[in-house]
A and B are shown apart, each in its own frame.
Chain A
Amino acid sequence: MTSRRFWRRNGATGWALSAPATLAVIGFLLIPIGAVIAGTFMDPRGVFAPYIAYFNSGFRTTVLFRTLQISAITTIISLIFGFMTAYVVSRAPGKLKSLLIVAAVFPLLTGVVVRAFAWLIILGRNGILNQTLLGLGIINEPLEMLYTQGAVVIGMVYLFVPLMVLSLVGVLENIPKDVLQASSSLGASPMATFWQVLLPLAVPGLIVGAVLVFTGSFTAYATPQLLGGERQTVLATLLQQRAMVSFDWVGASTIAAIMTVITITIVLAMSHVARRINPMAT
């Protein structure tokens, strides 16, 4: 009898149970971020003054475009290699498949700092790659690989390829096997099945993976900081500098607002697209 009141389907219990988490997210995340963004519109110089200042600065617009560019390149490379790898993993026999999945999970569980640091050892002026190339006599003096856009992209791809592989393995395994079998029973060669059935069915998953990687690299801090340095300043490192080095809080808030708006817009737009073209949803 104690249970009757509890199970009344009015959701009050549901609200009560989720209240602590809800309040925590609202109080410590939504309100602080909202306050930061709102703050940028209360500048004594005018409503959009911080944004006008931002886009009037050649350096800061360069940083924005560099960040977008690095994220786009990272996303494309991760998509291509992630998809090919995920395809092979999804087709691997049971034991090998688990092993390959574990091998992709392991780097993910290793921190970003460690993973960026690894490339520091490889790409540094006295790094392993330079030492090897010098030792082999291919080059006469060390290459400047660190603090280039290439270094940042490599570090980012390294960061996100495992994520892409894992999410695409999930996508590929969700494609019903009998649909692929139907295709080959109707005379489609493995190539035709790939292009005409598998790939179109994987597109929504590819979009989701691309969004994950794009927003992830768009807001990454440790990798561009270690591998790009000041020469390859991106939005995240600029935000940190403005806030913690220059104590320019209005500038930092503006960057935070720009990052948030771009991220949320991309996530919402692309998940809408992914849902609309998802043929498996009925």
Chain B
Amino acid sequence: MMSDRPHFLLIVVAALVYLFLMLPLVIVVGAALSDTTYLTFPPQGLSLRWFENIFEISAFRRTIITSLQIALLGTLIALLIGIPAAYALNRFRVELPKWLGTLFVLPILVPEIVFGFALLKSFTVGTGAPIFLSLLIGHTLIVLPYVVRVISASLASFDFSIEEAAISLGSAPVKTFFTIVLPNVRAGVIAAFILAFITSLNDVSVSLFLTGPGISTLPIQILAHVEQFFDPTVASVSVLLMFLTVAVMAVVERTLGLTFLAK
């Protein structure tokens, strides 16, 4: 029933922008399916051999495992320290200083590559901490802002008088948090987990400095591989990552509805 529609030319521009966004990803998928030893599109002879090749190269096998470990652990730690922080920021808005909220956004405000370098120089080299630990700390911090922000957003629409009602009915505060508050921001926690996990999995700038003999992450390995070989292995790894993204988005769609991610 609404009558005003954007100008025809604007619709054309938007369509072209979406084509520009989608086409390169389609090309990557095509290249991954090619039977040739070089990258080409449209694929010549369909084959899944390059997918097998991923797991034959031990560097890929190892880094996939490291990346998954780091992403999972980093996200869990970030949730563990981020949820109480987000709760405190909302519940004690008046009592806590304003800069505290800004502090938790800092890891995405300062250039990531600077953070990676600083962590290497001042922490890893300075204290001789193991690479894996440094990597984990780095990833925990870069996903922390997402956790705090997404969960704060959920808590902002949470009516704290519900919590007070539960406490007035005799529920202990800590128990109330787990039985009343947390279930009401469940959607936020799931979204935070997913966003953090994907961010960690895709990270380049921090991991760049925190890799060493035997320890590297998948994106860093892809970068290294691309600079030496120009075969479709990387395309198939990319497709694998895209599938993972699609799977995650499907889970989000099932649980929260997709437009949730746009908020």
Contacts and interface: CB of A to CB of B under 8 A. Distances in A.
Determine direct contact between A and B, CB below 8 Å. yes
A91 B13 contact: no
B204 A36 contact: no
A30 B234 CA distance: 36
A165 B167 CA distance: 43
A225 B113 CA distance: 13
B25 interface: yes
B33 interface: no
Interface string A5-34: 011011101110110111011101111110
B114 A3 contact: no
Interface stretch (A53-61, A110-118, A137-145): A110-118
**Dominant secondary structure of chain B at its interface with chain A:** helix
Given A14-B95, A36-B117, A30 B106 contact: yes
Q: Which residue, of A84, A112, A263, A267, has the highest number of chain B Cβ atoms within 10 A?
A: A84
Contact of A101 (B120, B204, B259): B259
A81 interface: yes
A50 to B, nearest CB: 14
B97 to A, nearest CB: 9
Interface stretch (B50-58, B81-89, B182-190): B81-89
Interface string A150-179: 000000001001100110011000000000
Interface residues of B, number: 90
A89 B121 CA distance: 45
A120 B225 CA distance: 13
Given A24-B141, A32-B118, A158-B20, A219 B6 contact: no
B192 interface: no
Contacts of A114: 28, 202, 222, 238, 241-242
Interface residues of A, number: 91
A25 B167 contact: no
Contacts of A81: 13, 17
A6 B173 contact: yes
B173 A7 contact: yes
Given A17-B84, A25-B104, A36-B122, A101 B117 contact: no
Given A31-B122, A162-B21, A259-B114, 10 more contacts: A87-B14, A102-B258, A106-B25, A110-B25, A121-B31, A128-B40, A161-B20, A222-B223, A243-B209, A264-B109
